[in-house]
Structure 1
């Protein structure tokens, strides 16, 4: 009878140990899965950030170049020596509407000075449109991908957008009184872009080292 009790206790211990071991292993596997899932999520997040930052910086840089470059565009000196065929080709390259091209070409031989003023005026309109479109593209990209962007980078981008918006407004509504402001905004925006690039580089470097 004693042997039967020992055998029964041994069986019970075996069953209990087996159940505990099963539960422990199950919890261990669940924990391993959660850790693996978190690592994969972090990896995907890091990859997405590595894709987002360069594209965001590129779009902001394009916006800055279009806004700042538009203030020095359209110098009449670069039309010296142009004949009607030259000016027509130039206007076609600028994607100016054909009706406007014909109007300017007819004006070219009659009053070159007026034709040049008309070209400069139309180029300015195109520059304003391109600058605002680039601004919109960059801002939309930030908002669409803000999930992968740190608060510091997002805040820095918004500060740059504020300066670029003012530049674009001054470009759209030129005023002699804003000349000094334009120069200041261009310098401040260029410096802010340099700071943004350093912040992005640092964050991408930290994320890369974290993967190791």
Structure 2
């Protein structure tokens, strides 16, 4: 009787042990797959980010450059120039919207601050007042915000180049 009970207990634990081994094998395979996929995903993301950031920066930088000419324009060329500014703004917004998924939260929030400054100055052009110093001052604010955006982008791009970061590992 004791022998039968011992065999039954052994059988029960051996079955449990085999089931646990199977579960561990499945978990191990999932972990191996996940580990092998992560470097590929990171590399694809980093390449995309390295492509998007310079183009986004270029498009952001172009808008205040086009806006600054309003500080010395005559009425005749206003409609022609405002069209150039609006085209640049449309290109910027389209590019941002297409690629926002690949941007960090810091870049997105800095972009929106910059965009708000651009929109404020854009609205001023339609008021019709000619205040050269105001335009230059607002363009200067936009450029300062673009510098902040540039620093955020640079910092993020340098992480993937394995440069020294703020956080020590």
Is TM-score (shorter-chain normalized) higher than 0.5? yes
Q: How far apart are residue 22 of structure 1 and its match?
A: 6.2
Instruction: Supply the distance in 2 between the matched residues of 1:22 and 1:162 (Cα, whole angstroms).
Output: 57
How far residue 38 of structure 1 moved from its aligned partner, in angstroms, is 2.4
**Residues 166-204 of structure 1 deviation map (CA, whole Å, 9 limit, x = unaligned):** 22223344303x444322211111111112111100011
1:106-145 alignment to 2 at 5 Å? 121=76, 123-145=77-99
CA distance, structure 1, for counterparts of residue 146 and residue 20 of structure 2: 59
Asked if the contact 1:71–1:171 (Cα under 8 Å) also holds between the matched residues in 2, the reply is no
The separation in 2 between residues aligned to 1:50 and 1:67, in whole angstroms, is 27
Structure 1, gaps ≥5 residues long: 1-14, 75-119
Counterparts of 1:11-160 in structure 2 under 5 Å?
24-73=24-73, 121=76, 123-160=77-114
Q: How many residues align?
A: 154
Secondary structure, aligned partner of 2:111: helix
Is the radius of gyration larger for structure 1 or structure 2?
1
| TM-score normalised by L of structure 1 | 0.61
Q: Cα offset for 1:24?
A: 4.2
Q: For residue 192 of structure 1, what is the aligned residue in structure 2? A: 145
Deviations 1:85-121 (A, max 9, x none): xxxxxxxxxxxxxxxxxxxxxxxxxxxxxxxxxxx61
- Give 5+ residue unaligned stretches, structure 2: 1-14, 164-169
Query: Match of 1:175, SS?
Result: coil
Inter-partner Cα distance in structure 2 for 1:20 and 1:169: 67
For 1:21 and 1:151, locate their aligned partners in 2 and report how far apart those are by CA, in whole Å. Answer: 42
Residue 17 of structure 1, CA deviation: 8.6
TM-score, normalised by the number of residues in structure 2:
0.75
| Counterpart check, 1:168 vs 2:117 | no
Alignment root-mean-square deviation, CA: 3.0
In 2, Cα distance between equivalents of 1:72 and 1:28: 68
